[in-house]
Amino acid sequence: MASDRKASTFLDLIRRSERGRLKVYLGYAPGVGKTYLMLQEGRRLKQEGIDVVVGLVETHGRADTAALLEGMEIVPRKQIAYRGITLEEMDTDAILARKPRIALVDELAHSNPPDSKSTKRYIDVEELLAAGIHVISTMNVQHLGAFTILSKGLLSSKSPNVSPT
């Protein structure tokens, strides 16, 4: 009995060590520098010889943020037709096939278009983590389920994109 429990505990340790880790830059509002900091960290890690790719980053037209993408490996986005337009979304399967040590994935609470493999980006990130890929991501406070009511009172922004707590 005790040896079964020890074996089970050891197996749990092995599974946890094979699983990727998630780091999230959390901000109180859009435009406070979460993506910028995430990219700075990704560049530092790359300079240290770590295999880092950009899974998805939204620069929102900010030149200083876009400049941080220079020299970084960017996984091409998946093209998805939706209501007569073409959307560009994170290609989770391409990241899984590439198998980097770390993937930078912006906007963790993003809602994917209908008919996507996952309804939310955090579900795609969960798949990356399960495959042993570490993820660095970003999120606004109002997207945290537990803080949704509080943030509605503090911020004028109301968002349908909420991650579970």
Question: pLDDT confidence of 145, banded at 50, 70, 90?
Answer: low
Beta bridge partners of 79: 88
Q: What is the pLDDT of residues 68-81, one digit of tens each?
A: 999 999 999 999 88
Q: Are 100 and 49 in contact (CB under 8 A)?
A: no
Residue type at 60 in one-letter notation: H
Q: Are strands 85-89 and 134-140 parallel, antiparallel or unpaired?
A: unpaired
Q: What is the pLDDT of residues 33-47, one digit of tens each?
A: 899 999 999 999 999
Q: Are strands 102-105 and 22-27 parallel, antiparallel or unpaired?
A: unpaired
Q: What are phi and psi of 39, to 5 degrees?
A: -70, -40
Q: Are strands 85-89 and 78-82 parallel, antiparallel or unpaired?
A: antiparallel
The pLDDT score that the predictor gives to residue 114 is: 85
Would you say residue 106 has pLDDT above 90? yes
CB atoms under 10 Å from CB of 17, counted, come to 8
Question: pLDDT confidence of 4, banded at 50, 70, 90?
Answer: low
Percentage of residues of the chain with pLDDT beyond 70: 78
Closest CA to 88 of 110, 104, 68: 110
Question: pLDDT confidence of 28, banded at 50, 70, 90?
Answer: confident
Report in angstroms the alpha-carbon separations of 147 from 105, 150, 153, 155. Answer: 22, 5, 10, 11
The pLDDT score that the predictor gives to residue 46 is: 96
List, in order of start, the domains of the chain with CATH numbers. Answer: 20-154 (3.40.50.300)
